[in-house]
Amino acid sequence: MIFSKVLSLNDIKKESFVIENIRWDIDPKDLMEPRRIITEEGIKAKEPIKGYVFYIDTMDKKPILFLMRHTAADYAETLAQIDEIPQDLLLEAIEENKSKAYFSMYPINKRVEEWLKKELGVL
């Protein structure tokens, strides 16, 4: 693990490399799918995914927003837990993305993305 503890929103704000490498276009399911698929032409490798991905976890009673680090070598770890986000935003994203649930993980929606970008100072 790069960091010795699970980071907070304030910790992430200080990590420009993390902020610059957030993948807003990736869902949790994209990270978990096989990296190679069988096609008519044979085995095809998918493009590696690397960067930082926000997702909502619902394993506990209340939804929690996390940031995951994912490497091109398919190593992933939870990097941060964002407790400051309003629960109603998370619940809205879960409802909007209930068809995209993957092992109790949900992608964020545009409203959560906008909230995060504002908090992180991303233009």
Residues with Cβ within 8 Å of 73's Cβ and at least 6 positions away in sequence, in order, are 48
Within 10 A of 112 (CB to CB), how many other CB atoms are there?
A: 23
- The answer to whether the CB of 55 falls within 8 A of the CB of 68 is yes
Query: How would residue 86 be classed by pLDDT, with cut points 50, 70 and 90?
Result: very high
The answer on pLDDT for 59 being more than 70 is: yes
Taking only the tens place, the pLDDT of each residue in 87-105 is 999 999 999 999 998 888 9
Query: How would residue 73 be classed by pLDDT, with cut points 50, 70 and 90?
Result: low
How far apart CA 67 and CA 122 sit, in angstroms, is: 16
Range of the domain at 43: 9-120
Query: How would residue 18 be classed by pLDDT, with cut points 50, 70 and 90?
Result: very high
Closest alpha carbon to 79 in 30, 28, 9: 9
Locate tokens 């690397």: which residue? 50
Q: Is residue 39 part of a domain?
A: yes
> Residue 27's pLDDT is what?
87
**How many domains does the chain fold into?**
1
Q: Is residue 49 part of a domain?
A: yes
Q: Is residue 111 part of a domain?
A: yes
Query: How would residue 34 be classed by pLDDT, with cut points 50, 70 and 90?
Result: low
> Residue 60's pLDDT is what?
80
Q: DSSP assignment of the chain, as one string?
A: --SSS-B-HHHHHT-HHHHHTB-TT--HHHHHS-SEEEETTEEEEPPP--EEEEEEE-SSSS-EEEEEEE-TTS-EEEEEEE--S-HHHHHHHHHHTGGG-BTTEE---HHHHHHHHHHHT--
Q: Is residue 3 part of a domain?
A: no
Q: Is residue 4 part of a domain?
A: no
More confident residue, 3 or 13: 13
